Amino acid sequence: MTPDPARFAGRLEPLGVDFEARADRPLLLSLEQAGLPWPSSCRNGTCRSCIGRLAQGRVRYEIPWPGLSAEEKAEGCVLPCVAFPICDLVLQGPGA
Pick between residue 26 and residue 57 the one whose CB is nearest to ligand FES: 26
Helix locations, 34-86, DSSP H:
70-74
Q: Is 48 in the site for ligand FES (CB under 6 A)?
A: yes
Helix, strand, coil share of the chain (percent; to 5): 10, 30, 55
Site string for ligand FES, 53-92 (x = CB under 6 A): --------------x-----------x-x-----------
Chain-centroid distance, C-alpha 16: 16
CB nearer ligand FES, residue 3 or residue 37:
37
| Residue 36 lies near ligand FES (rule: CB under 6 A) | no
Q: Would you say how long the chain is, in residues? A: 96
Are the C-beta atoms of residues 40 and 49 closer than 8 Å to each other? yes
Q: Which residues bind ligand FES (CB under 6 A)?
A: 40-43, 45-50, 67, 79, 81
